[in-house]
Chains A and B, each alone.
Chain A
Amino acid sequence: MTWVEPRLFLWAIAAVVVAWVAPRRWQPSALAALGLTFVATMDIRSVLLLAALGGLTYVLSIGRKQTGWRVAVTIVAVSAAIVYFKRDFRIGAPGMVALVPLGLSYFGLRIVHYAFEAYKGGLPKHSVADYVRYLLFFPTFVAGPINRFAPYLRDCRRRRWDAHLFAEGMERVLYGCVKIVVLASYITSLWFADWLQAQTMLPAWLAAYLGCLKYGANLYFQFAGYSDIAIGIGLLMGYRIEENFNWPFIARNISEFWRRWHMTLSEWCRSYVFSPVAATARNPYLGVVASMLVLGMWHELTPRYAAWGVYHGLGIAMHQVFVRLRGETSESPGLWWRPMGGVLAWLLTMNFVIVGFAITSSDTLAEGWRTILTILTIER
């Protein structure tokens, strides 16, 4: 399923029309009803599962006295659902997506966010209807961004017709389509892929490296494109959804990369995995590795995604150790503002990320490891 399908675009148009044509008081509810209808028509069993998870979370999260066990039960329930439905799930395998309840992974992150914020007392005053509308928010249901409850509620209450915002939304949707159709599908997956396949005289390491580059470029343009479309549809409806990408390929260190790539997910992991783990273990490096491990496993419950998560976790931890040893904060200019240092830092970071794609672009961890060895010219 992709946003560039006519049926999803029709749903999007319906959502935008409903967002403004329905009586003002009923607009958020009408949008939630549309979201529910969307899920029901795509996959009815998803409605049942997501309703059960959402209902359980709400029941555990209401009440004046919040205890840690309530959050723990929510986390266990969500994790169990994800493990059960995604235990055999493989990204890219044909037919696999149909086996997973629609939007389960993103939905799960939203309700865990809600449960944690309820526990910390960080939720604004709201009703159960607000909660349901948040969970059924149509633009972000299938592929994120992982929007947070408080900003969503604020937008619900403050949204007004704004022609500039509407125009911005249209532009955003257009740019998203360009990223997906032109940059990802045509240039990267067709033109560049064909060119690469035709280069029979390339050294093995270079062919492997360019293969990883192609994978990474396709992934970025697709993901950023879908995020743009979701954000654009949100703007058309009068909602400002959180940004998901911020030019990640200009990052000069791996920590910065993860502050620019899939920002809503890395922010979620920072808030709900890194902070608790680092505080409990009194070890920020363990927190980072745990956080990235969860991030990797959230994508797919396989050794290759676990390895990819740990790879990036170790990279971030090493960068933080390096920064600490230099006596700088990660934000201070230091060496990296000097031209040569900046270029070197950028090259190191980009190659670290690209080589990491060898793990997720391969079907198995063993194959990914062989690709990495080929890139490093250790193995041909």
Chain B
Amino acid sequence: MYEFLNRFLSPRLAEVALTAWYLFLMVLILACLRVPTSEFRYANL
């Protein structure tokens, strides 16, 4: 992801954008965690 961002942004901005992206994903995960995780049928076969 950093390499992709670095193509369009300066290294410093790419780092900031990457941090923002990770924070966004973490918030998204936490927000969706209120929904029970659907069962993974293919674990521990």
Contacts and interface: CB of A to CB of B under 8 A. Distances in A.
Given A2-B37, A185-B37, A186-B35, A178 B42 contact: no
Contact of B38 (A171, A174, A185): A185
A143 interface: yes
B12 interface: no
Contacts of B29: 174, 177-178, 181-182
A92 B39 contact: yes
Contacts of B33: 4, 181
Interface of A is mostly: helix
Interface in B19-45: 22, 25-26, 28-29, 32-33, 35-45
Contacts of B45: 86, 89, 91, 100, 104-106, 298-299
Interface stretch (A71-79, A218-226, A270-278): A218-226
Interface residues of A, number: 38
A113 to B, nearest CB: 16
Contacts of A178: 25, 28-29
Given A171-B1, A174-B25, A181 B37 contact: yes
A189 interface: yes
A289 interface: no
Contacts of A105: 45
Interface residues of B, number: 19
Contacts, number: 78
Given A178-B25, A181-B37, A189-B38, A2 B43 contact: yes
B35 A190 contact: yes
Nearest to A164: B2
B22 A142 contact: no
B44 A103 contact: yes
A91 B43 CA distance: 9
A184 interface: yes
User: Which of A102, A143, A186 has the most chain B CB atoms closer than 10 A to its own CB?
Assistant: A186
Interface string A100-121: 1011111000000000000000
A85 B35 CA distance: 32
B32 A1 contact: no
Contacts of B1: 171
A92 B45 CA distance: 11
Interface in A101-147: 102-106, 142-143
B25 A218 contact: no
Given A142-B43, A171-B1, 8 more contacts: A2-B37, A3-B43, A174-B26, A181-B32, A182-B32, A186-B32, A223-B42, A226-B40
12 contacts: A1-B43, A3-B43, A4-B33, A91-B41, A142-B43, A178-B25, A181-B33, A181-B35, A182-B28, A182-B32, A185-B37, A219-B41
Interface of A: 1-4, 86, 89, 91-92, 97, 100, 102-106, 142-143, 171, 174-175, 177-178, 180-182, 184-186, 188-190, 218-219, 222-223, 226, 298-299
**Interface pairs A-B: 4 shortest CB-CB:** A105-B45, A189-B38, A186-B32, A143-B43
